[in-house]
Structure 1
């Protein structure tokens, strides 16, 4: 066994808690996208990379956008499963922690995700398919941070978190550091701006930026 083989054998799985078949499929998805682009990431190419039958893959995911939805769901679940209930800290600190861990969960597919993001402006149909995934994920992240995401006010909070996420995402796309330090700094600044906006709108201290709201009651 070579040193690289040893590292590969004992490295942590990219999507902990996910069925091995699904984890392998998502890894294959992003390898193909990174190499061939989204246009070249056909069901047949992804199936071949994952070592599964194209017919079986197509039966489960009739359109490729469903693979993207599955990835988003898996990433959300990784973050939720890694969240310590009643972990303490301020709402802002909990939001920061949850969103940074979501960026960490994106890292295994980084090359493919970046290429997909580069191609989205030229693929409006895929972009439209992805757009609805963001508020769903942000609602899950809000709840993981102990922030209520239901009702009319919850929707506003989710939109606020989505804005913070997208601002930090711009930094993540360029951040090739091991510790994602530039992404952390951008996320911190985005939270500052959001809180500043909340103060200018005279939102109460208990609901700054519509993220630091009343926590979810057990």
Structure 2
């Protein structure tokens, strides 16, 4: 297969998975069902995507690739981080109904939640580095965790944002960036206050974010198909 063929294969599979998730929920879906709906050869789907979670990992990679495209634009780390995170949201928006169905089921699927947390951490390390935020050493790990908290805060706003221009989501991200800046995310110091950064993004019921390794975004493994 050519690179274009591969892209078409991946897009067809992801489109089918998200359409089915939107109509019947994620938990009950199986990979054979997704392959049939996509009109793809079952054996090839099995070879490329052995687990249902693989489809969500694909979505995460697509979101990262879209965010990390070098368009030559220059800005401060804060400005760049805003742009990169909104690019990820723009990809998620294309699959909104299906992805919301996935997110609704996460509290009932701890293994998937843990896997998504690990995938999110990896994605945010790339995003932070691309924004010019140091990710090396212990201090870098703490800063990456701060970016994960910021992303989770933004994702929660996106879940509730039904506007076409995603104005509520962008406003939440700007507010989160204000908090992160006050907490020293962009200072590049090795003692970035991760716990303070996390507590800066409370949920609507007043609770702070759950442990970062349990936070979702877009990726994982079986138990899910």
Change (3 A) 1:189 1:205: same
The CA deviation at 1:208 is 11
Preserved contact between residue 195 and residue 208 of structure 1 (Cα < 8 Å): no
In structure 1, stretches of 5+ residues that fail to align are 1-15, 211-218
Change (3 A) 1:205 1:122: closer
Q: Following the alignment from structure 1 to structure 2, what is the Cα–Cα distance between the partners of residues 79 and 209? A: 27
Bigger proportion of residues as helix: 1
151-160 or 110-119, larger mean C-alpha shift:
151-160
For 2:65, which of 70, 74, 77 is the aligned residue? 77
Corresponding residue of 2:45: 57
The CA deviation at 1:145 is 1.9
Corresponding residue of 1:140: 126
* Total equivalences in the alignment: 188
Q: Following the alignment from structure 2 to structure 1, what is the Cα–Cα distance between the partners of residues 38 and 136? A: 38
What is the alpha-carbon root mean square deviation over aligned residues?
A: 2.3
Query: What's the TM-score once normalised by structure 1's chain length?
Result: 0.78
Which runs of structure 2 are paired with 1:1-218 in the superposition (5 Å)?
Answer: 19-81=7-69, 83-85=70-72, 87-198=73-184, 205=187
Q: Following the alignment from structure 1 to structure 2, what is the Cα–Cα distance between the partners of residues 50 and 146? A: 39
Q: Following the alignment from structure 1 to structure 2, what is the Cα–Cα distance between the partners of residues 65 and 56? A: 16
Q: Following the alignment from structure 1 to structure 2, what is the Cα–Cα distance between the partners of residues 205 and 125? A: 35
The CA deviation at 1:205 is 4.5
The CA deviation at 1:206 is 5.4
Query: What's the TM-score once normalised by structure 2's chain length?
Result: 0.76
Q: Following the alignment from structure 1 to structure 2, what is the Cα–Cα distance between the partners of residues 72 and 49? A: 21
The CA deviation at 1:88 is 2.0
Q: Deviations over 1:57-79 (max 9, x none)?
A: 12222211122112111110111
In structure 2, stretches of 5+ residues that fail to align are 193-225
Preserved contact between residue 139 and residue 189 of structure 2 (Cα < 8 Å): no
